[in-house]
Amino acid sequence: MRILVLGGTAFLSAEIARQAVAAGHDVTCLARGTVSVPPDGAAWLRADRSEGAAAYSAATEASDGGWDAVVDVSRDPDQAREALEALARSAGHWTFVSSCSVYADHSVAGAAEDAGVLAPLPPGTELTAGNYGEAKAAIEHWTTELAGDRAHLCRAGLIGGPGDGSDRYGYWPARFARDAGPVLVPDIPADATQVIDVRDLAAWILTAAESGTTGALNAVGEPVQFAAYLEESRQLAGGDAGMVAAPSDWLASRGANYWAGPDSLPLWLPPGHEGFATRSNAAARAAGLRTRPWTDTLRDMLTDERRRGLGRERKAGMSPETERRILSEYQAANAQ
């Protein structure tokens, strides 16, 4: 197949390009290449999508009548629409890597693809972390509108694996490995975690393109209780660190942040998100999605965390200083 990856230099898009080359496909990546370059074996169309429709002229010229498959991982509705307008008409299959963040309700466990989605982000609205789901919903709208029945809306969940720049799934094994503790954890043992390995997600996207799979499908792993995830993280790191579990409301009142970002306790979800990490993957599995054990992903992430440095500054996770402060306050309050 002649595959165009809109990206191909970072995390998921780079993994898609690598696997596509390894599978013998003719792969082209359209990317700026400011931080890294496409993998060996892929052609590179150097372009900046922020420049508008003109960014796709080289891809149109190189298509030789059309691409067999196009993959877009964008979160910018304007860029996604411009790519679709330039390329979708002659593409045999179009994958948009969306997100389970498009769903309007995260409180229902086991929800499938028929759950309601957010209203699309209005044109001209500034992109922020807070409207990520609406931005992805807008791109889903344009993909359905312009690619029609050739579109695969791949609704990914939390993506983990080596090279993950979000720092979420790897925080806990890295934290246990960093020092002997004690480690501050939220007291949510029965809450769910859910991850899909970037390597499995990339393989699924290629499988769907090769087989012509279309429609909206949740690309997520199996739910795992937070307590099991923490214990596996601790054991992988050596099993020496102790844990101090504090109530969620107490942690929130002391400045601990949910889910991701600075001074967060990653994977800890706010109230009303009981179904966020329990989305159904039954439809995707029936269509060919295959996932490795989550423990394998966690093991490989710890190896990657050690390579990158356990004491580095992180995009997600609690700083040692904040953790020590909150631990001290909690231990003092419970010593009385």
Q: Is the CATH number of domain 2-156 3.40.640.10?
A: no
Give the per-residue pLDDT at 336: 65
User: Residue-wise over 271-307: b if at least 16 C-beta within 10 A, else e?
Assistant: eebebbbbbbbeebbebebebeebeebbebbbebbee
Domain ranges of the chain: 2-156, 171-193+225-276+294-335
pLDDT of residue 121: 98
pLDDT at residue 65 in the model: 80
* Mean pLDDT estimate for the chain: 96
Question: Cα–Cα distance between 18 and 21 in angstroms, integer?
Answer: 5
Question: Minimal CA–CA distance to 93: which of 218, 213, 224, 273?
Answer: 213
Q: Exposed (0-12), middle (13-18) or buried (19+): which is 92, by Cβ within 10 Å?
A: middle
β-sheet bridge partners, residue 243: 183
C-alpha span between 229 and 243 (Å, rounded): 13
Q: How far is CA 264 from the centre of its chain?
A: 17
Burial class (CB in 10 A: 0-12, 13-18, 19+), 62: middle
Residues forming beta bridges with residue 258, ordered by sequence position = 265
Residue 72's pLDDT is 98
> How far apart are alpha carbons 270 and 18 in whole angstroms?
36
Q: How is 189-255 classified by DSSP, letter by letter?
A: TTSEE--EEHHHHHHHHHHHHHHT--EEEEE----EEHHHHHHHHHHHHTS---EEEE-HHHHHHTT
Q: In angstroms, rounded to a whole number, what is the distance separating the alpha carbons of residues 121 and 76?
A: 10
pLDDT digit string, tens, across residues 68-102: 999 999 999 999 999 999 999 999 999 999 999 99
The owner of tokens 């230099």 is 9
DSSP state of 315: S
Whether the predicted pLDDT of 116 surpasses 90: yes
CB 132 within 8 A of CB 75: yes
pTM over 0.95: yes
- What is the predicted pLDDT for the residue at 335? 83
Nearest CA to 37 among 12, 73, 10, 16?
Answer: 10
Report which DSSP code applies to 155.
Answer: E
Percentage of the chain surpassing pLDDT 70?
A: 100
pLDDT at site 25: 98
**Interval 11-42: pLDDT, tens:** 999 999 999 999 999 999 999 988 899 999 99
**Helices 171-178 and 226-237 sit at what angle, rounded to 10 degrees?**
40
46 - beta bridge partners? Answer: 31
